[in-house]
A and B are shown apart, each in its own frame.
Chain A
Amino acid sequence: MMQQEKKNIKRRLEKRMRIFLLLVFLVFSLLVGRLGYLQLVQGEEYERLAAGNRIRILPLQSPRGEMFDRQGRVLVANRLAPTVSVIPMDLQEQEDPLSVLERLGELLGFDVLEQFQDTIEKKKARKEFRLFEPIRVATDVDIATLTAVEEHLMELPGVVIEEQPVRDYVMGDIGAHIVGYVREISREELEEWRDKGYRMGDLVGKTGLERVFDGILRGEDGGRRVEVDAVGHPIRDQGKKAPIQGNSLQLTLDAEIQAVATRVLRENLERLQTLAYKPMRNAVAGAVVVLDINSGAVRALVSEPSYDPNIFTKEKLSDSEWQKLNDPILKPQLNRVLRGEYPSGSTFKMLTAIAGLEKGIITPEDSINCTGFYWRVEPKRCWNWDRGGHGRVDLRRAIAESCNIYFYDLGYRTGINTLTEYADLFGMGKPTGIELHPGEKGGFLATPQWRREHFGEPWQPGETLSAAIGQGFSTATPLQMANYVAMIANGGIRYRPYLVDKIISPAGEIVEEFAPEILDRVAVAPETLKAVREGMRAVVEPRGTGYGTFVNCPVPVAGKTGTAENPHGDSHGWFVGFAPAQRPEIALAVLIEQGGSGSSAAAPVARDIFTAIYQENQQDLLFPDSPS
């Protein structure tokens, strides 16, 4: 029985083995058949293609995603630019390849040879060198040069002219610090982003949103497989993989407000430099930031001086361009809105007021008598001491007329720790969290502990008085100041300022939408903020430090001027504020480096921006259905 079963198994096995052998026959027949077809039937055609291999890959660079403002107006787009490349394979076959490169260099006007060899070395080091892959030597060639190269193309074997998309920064030098620019990937970046599929020669975002959202903006490159003639010029397309464009960004930015703010800031810098009475010749730089107080959305972000990111589309910058970009005084690449740190000056006084009100040390109605001098702790004076001070001031008048004596006394009574506590609550001393590169600075909030650690001596009582009026060790960025004023206006909600609202696919679908992000809701009584807001409103009313400037402003504004003492030069002028005063929508901060007083340097900038914004909106109200 057992024996019988074994025999059965054996028989079945042999049957299966025969089937298996048949399968093996089939497989080998198929392979040999196909081999014969390729080699014996089609062999001649393949041999023709193989003769000095006539197949090349020409990469098709994918256009990056675009950037729009919040109303869909284009901020960053792409355009096709002529590029000149060299295919090493076809060059190698020439008797004198160097002369080809020299000739090309003459036509293009720079040393192609050196650049070409340099690129090949780099590619070889990364094992990315392929003889048949073109190496780009010039991008965005001007039309005259291009024509010259085209005319001599027959003498330039291996040289290929193609069109590739390059960045088009539509607004030029407006908003350069926001959008940033792209440039060829560096060795360090290749190392750092090893796993993200970057290759040598890729264009990547270097600063701004181009950098932060590079992975989203970059698409997927495609390519053409072409048959080339004897001198390496394409004659026939053999296949094409279309490049896929990257996703676009819709920003929170308002292009109009951005443009107006930039224009106004530039005009005022010029005005300050040419003041008849006392020209502020060092007033060459400034910053403006406009936030939506109910979301943290950035409506405008201006840092002056600026630069035009379009200059980066070419392979090489000229010396003068490079020098301009790296001017040690103007620092056009520095984004002063988030990387410039300045003493906040009198714009800090609202924080001192909040601390005092919240701790029950004062009520809005409590008043002191300002004689122009303060004798407690150490002798200090008010800015209008020579006119005998402010007289009797309550909180409202103290903010409106920026009375130092009132805040010295308040600071003295609240103490440095309480001031620090509230400054921290309103975002001082730490980054706001905005999504920009290079990363923002957090300003600085001086504490007694820091004082001890860095100077080896305790905090001095007089330093508390300075801190109470925003002078001394602490610093803030314009972005922090705008965000803090927004908190006063919105009832104490600290939003993360943000620039990107939506990510949109090339097909127009929303890939991701960013909601406003609340970082903190500070526990401050509504009455406290109301009292502070009233004081800020009084700033632009008669006797206030901003009255003269805002007297004809079409929208009711509340704000505060500030003049930050600068040991290295003229004072920095500040204005922070929000509008409309009764039902706030936007908050802003203006800083003029070495512009002098806040009321003369910064307040006019704020007024012009508010005016422009609300004149626009009034038009919208008048013609609500008008097509735009």
Chain B
Amino acid sequence: MFERRMLKNLDLVLLLAVFLVMAIGLAMIASASHTLSGNTSPYYYVKRQAMMMGVGLIIMALVLTIDYHTMAHYAVYLYIANIAMLLAVLLVPAEAKGAGRWIDLGFFRLQPSEFAKVFLIITLANFLAKTMGDMTTLMDLVPVLIHVALPMVLIMAQPDLGTSLVFVAILLGLLFLTGIKMQYIFTLILAGGASLPILWKYLKDYQKNRLLVFLDPNIDPTGSGYHVIQSMIAIGSGRMLGQGFLAGPQNQLNFIPEQHTDFIYSVVGEELGFLGAGLLLLLYFIIIYRGIRIAINARDMLGTIMAGGVVTMLLFQVMVNVGMTICIMPITGLPLPLLSYGGSSLLSTLLAIGLLLNVGMRRQKILF
């Protein structure tokens, strides 16, 4: 299955951009967490993250050796495993910020919802690639919706609103790419919009608050609103060149909440300035652009959809996370891919990048 000549097709530009983002990430985690660790080593978080990068790169390399068609072949099992994993989280909850999202493996706390996103991309791509030709009516979409809804409901039950929204983004993105009539997609969006008030009732108060503060941080100036304000102060004060590495007062004095995880971009903005933060966005753009190229040039529909899924996921998470720190998106608790501290997020993102490169390696022999 794996042939040496495939390596020639490996997208080195994309890979380089990924490495650069991770390198910036390590530096920023170091800056954001060296005051946090308390009695452990100041480099505790950096070391863990670097270790996870190593593991993630090995996983990525392994993923490259498996033809994505083979993965699609086992989609049913992958789907069952995915559901089982999410059920396990609900049944064996670990306490973390009031939401049981993790399975404690001792050395590592596995967050299944992170991996569920990637698994969904594979199984949904398989499903759509097989059935897309037959999708002519709105009713044909029902199985697709069920396919997505099942794991999504389990994730919402954790409760993890952010990741559930990623599922919605992946669904809409893939439906769009597979060429479903636009009117169906609009119908879905309308139906989703109409059910929002019902969903709203089931949200916890803190979730409602977090969703609303980006409209006006002053509705909760002491809670979530405070976090957004502090994040904006941090980013804004970075100006063109930044306050300098390890020198951002907002970060160093712990004014930025969750500064090594969800709000890591605020640290980038504060310490590296518009140049650094803009460069980071450029790197994300390169990753996503190369991903779209891979999707277009994929050998078959399955490859296109898989690559498209990964690209949609990355785009959505970058948009929501960066948007949150600059107060144009609500707070949803989504990590910034490749940058935020957190093993599960890093591993699953590298897995997704692996999938992307996998499709790219096995593209048509003749380009253009």
Residue ranges of A at the interface with B (Cβ–Cβ < 8 Å) = 5, 9, 12-14, 16-17, 19-21, 24, 27-28, 30-32, 34-36, 38-40, 42-47, 49-53, 55, 57, 59, 89, 130-132, 195, 222-225, 238-241
Cross-chain contact B235 with A39 (CB below 8 angstroms): yes
Cross-chain contact B315 with A24 (CB below 8 angstroms): yes
Q: Which residues of A contact B253 (CB under 8 A)?
A: 53, 89, 131
Within 8 A of A (CB), among B207-227: 217-223, 225-226
Cross-chain contact A39 with B177 (CB below 8 angstroms): no
Report Cα–Cα, A111/B269, bound state, in Å.
43
Cross-chain contact B285 with A43 (CB below 8 angstroms): no
Report Cα–Cα, A565/B255, bound state, in Å.
69
Cross-chain contact A35 with B237 (CB below 8 angstroms): no
Contact among A17, A28, A46, A238 with B296 in the assembled complex (CB-CB below 8 Å): A17
Q: Which residues of B contact A57 (CB under 8 A)?
A: 221-222, 226
Report Cα–Cα, A241/B98, bound state, in Å.
24
B281 within 8 A of A: yes
Cross-chain contact B235 with A35 (CB below 8 angstroms): yes
Q: Which residues of A contact B308 (CB under 8 A)?
A: 20
B304 within 8 A of A: yes
User: Which of A5, A36, A46, A130: most chain B CB closer than 10 A?
Assistant: A46
Contact among A34, A50, A239 with B225 in the assembled complex (CB-CB below 8 Å): A239
Contact among B233, B236, B292, B318 with A21 in the assembled complex (CB-CB below 8 Å): B292
Report Cα–Cα, A238/B223, bound state, in Å.
14
Cross-chain contact A21 with B176 (CB below 8 angstroms): no
Closest residue of chain B to A27, judged by CB? B319
Report Cα–Cα, A16/B176, bound state, in Å.
7
Report Cα–Cα, A24/B286, bound state, in Å.
11
Closest residue of chain B to A240, judged by CB? B221
Cross-chain contact B292 with A225 (CB below 8 angstroms): no
Closest residue of chain B to A17, judged by CB? B296
Number of A-B contacts (CB under 8 A): 152
Cross-chain contact B177 with A13 (CB below 8 angstroms): yes
Within 8 A of A (CB), among B169-195: 173, 176-179
Cross-chain contact B269 with A241 (CB below 8 angstroms): no
Cross-chain contact B288 with A24 (CB below 8 angstroms): yes
Known A-B contacts A17-B292, A239-B221; the reply to A28 vs B255 at CB < 8 A is no
SS of B interface (majority): helix
Cross-chain contact A31 with B226 (CB below 8 angstroms): no
B123 nearest CB across to chain A (Å) = 20
Interchain Cβ contacts under 8 Å between A and B, 7 examples: A27-B319, A36-B278, A46-B232, A46-B236, A55-B255, A240-B221, A241-B222
SS of A interface (majority): helix
Cross-chain contact A31 with B326 (CB below 8 angstroms): yes
B249 within 8 A of A: yes
Q: A50-B234, A239-B218 are in contact. List 18 more A-B contacts (CB 8 A).
A: A17-B296, A31-B319, A31-B322, A32-B278, A38-B232, A39-B236, A39-B273, A40-B239, A45-B236, A49-B233, A50-B236, A53-B250, A130-B254, A131-B253, A132-B255, A239-B217, A239-B221, A241-B220
Cross-chain contact A50 with B285 (CB below 8 angstroms): no
Closest residue of chain B to A23, judged by CB? B315
Cross-chain contact B249 with A50 (CB below 8 angstroms): yes
Closest residue of chain B to A127, judged by CB? B38
Q: Which residues of B contact A89 (CB under 8 A)?
A: 253
Q: Which residues of B contact A50 (CB under 8 A)?
A: 233-234, 236-237, 249-250, 270
Cross-chain contact A31 with B323 (CB below 8 angstroms): yes
Cross-chain contact A38 with B235 (CB below 8 angstroms): yes
Q: Which residues of B contact A51 (CB under 8 A)?
A: 249
Report Cα–Cα, A24/B281, bound state, in Å.
12
Contact among B98, B218, B234, B285 with A28 in the assembled complex (CB-CB below 8 Å): B285
Cross-chain contact A39 with B240 (CB below 8 angstroms): yes
Closest residue of chain A to B231, judged by CB? A38
Contact among B223, B274, B296 with A36 in the assembled complex (CB-CB below 8 Å): B274
B323 nearest CB across to chain A (Å) = 7
Q: Which residues of B contact A5 (CB under 8 A)?
A: 133
Q: Which residues of B contact A47 (CB under 8 A)?
A: 236-237, 239
Q: Which residues of A contact B288 (CB under 8 A)?
A: 24
A43 nearest CB across to chain B (Å) = 4
A323 nearest CB across to chain B (Å) = 40
Report Cα–Cα, A52/B239, bound state, in Å.
16
Question: Ordered nearest first, which 4 A-B pairs have the shortest CB separation?
Answer: A46-B236, A223-B222, A239-B221, A43-B239
Q: Which residues of A contact B318 (CB under 8 A)?
A: 27, 31
A88 nearest CB across to chain B (Å) = 11
B30 nearest CB across to chain A (Å) = 21
B24 nearest CB across to chain A (Å) = 15
B289 within 8 A of A: yes
B309 within 8 A of A: no
Report Cα–Cα, A55/B233, bound state, in Å.
10
B27 within 8 A of A: no
Report Cα–Cα, A604/B249, bound state, in Å.
74
